[in-house]
Amino acid sequence: MALSVTLWNEFRHEKNMDACKEIYPDGMHTAIAAYLEKHTDFRIRLASLDEPEHGLTQDVLDDTDVLTWWGHAAHHEVEDEIVERVHKRVLAGMGLIALHSSIHSKIFLKLMGTTCSLKWREAGEKERLWVVSPGHPIVDGIGECIEIEHTEMYGEHFDIPAPDELVLVSWFPGGEVFRSGCCFTRGAGKIFYFRPGHETFPIYYQEDVLKVITNAICWASPVDGPEFKRGNVEPLEPLSPAS
């Protein structure tokens, strides 16, 4: 069956910041959705902060294989109860793709357990994201690197736990580097952090960026794995009596 993907967006800058509104009049999540609708058979759903329950009801989450998340200025407005709900679903196997400034979202911080702080600068710099895990499914169809002409800079040190797999590393002309494509596992859930997507540049119209997001959704989708029994158990083989 086709993957069920929910694209969650804070969806505030597109309403209150001219520089963002001009590029993404219908929201960054809609730009990503347009690509996915054209290139995949995913079942796509949009959700955003100002909807009841932020658009993430239990029914929506139960029907979501992979959730993408974009947040920036209103992380604190996301209700703890919804964060808890998303967290539970990730541990149970739902994939999560955290985009750009979502590093400081409640859900990402909870999953990482560190500050996720970093260096940053808004100077419209170029970025080159180098593939450092050739053969990884997330970079299927991507060349040696992705070039983004103008973006915000993020620099190390990025205070995250060591990723299970590091897929992309960014270079910036100001001298910084950054781990910009990172894979994590929490419980049965797979998490991919992907850095591109500053709100005042048209980055979610760029083919190779969208291709990585598409690949990441496929990679992070749940597998039909075992349901583990936990707690006190009987032995599988008869135990010899204690001597």
Considering only residues 157-216, where is the footprint of Zn ion by CB under 5 A? Answer: 198
CB 184 to Zn ion: min, Å: 21
Helix (H) or strand (E) holding 128: strand 119-131
| CB closer to Zn ion, 87 vs 198 | 198
Least Å from the CB of residue 3 to Zn ion: 27
Name the minimum Å distance from CB 151 to Zn ion. 8
Q: Are strands 95-99 and 43-48 parallel, antiparallel or unpaired?
A: unpaired
Compute the least distance from the CB of residue 170 to Zn ion, in Å. Answer: 13
Query: Cβ(149)–Cβ(222) under 8 Å?
Result: no
Q: Do the beta carbons of residue 174 and residue 167 sit within 8 Å? A: no
Cβ-based nearer residue to Zn ion, 120 or 159: 120
Q: Token pair of 178, please?
A: 């950054």
Helix (H, G, I), strand (E, B) or coil at 48: strand
What are the residues whose beta carbons fall under 8 Å from the beta carbon of 147, sequence distance 6 or more? Answer: 126, 127, 128, 129
Residues 6+ apart with CB under 8 A from 57: none
What minimum distance in Å lies between the beta carbon of 178 and Zn ion? 12
> Count residues contacting Zn ion (CB under 5 A)?
3
Q: Is 152 in the site for Zn ion (CB under 5 A)?
A: yes
Helix%, strand%, coil% for the chain, nearest 5: 30, 30, 40
Task: Name which of 64 and 151 has its Cβ closer to Zn ion.
Answer: 151
| Residue 65 interacting with Zn ion (CB under 5 A) | no
Q: Which stretch binds Zn ion (CB under 5 A): 20-28, 128-136, 140-148, 150-158?
A: 150-158
Q: Which residue is nearest to Zn ion (CB)?
A: 198
- DSSP-derived letter for residue 235 is -
10 is a contact residue toward Zn ion (CB under 5 A): no
Q: Which distant-in-sequence residues (6+ apart) come within 8 Å of 236 by Cβ? A: none
Q: Least distance to Zn ion from the beta carbon of 71, Å?
A: 11
Among positions 92-131, residues that touch Zn ion (CB under 5 A) are 101
List residues near Zn ion by CB under 5 A.
Answer: 101, 152, 198
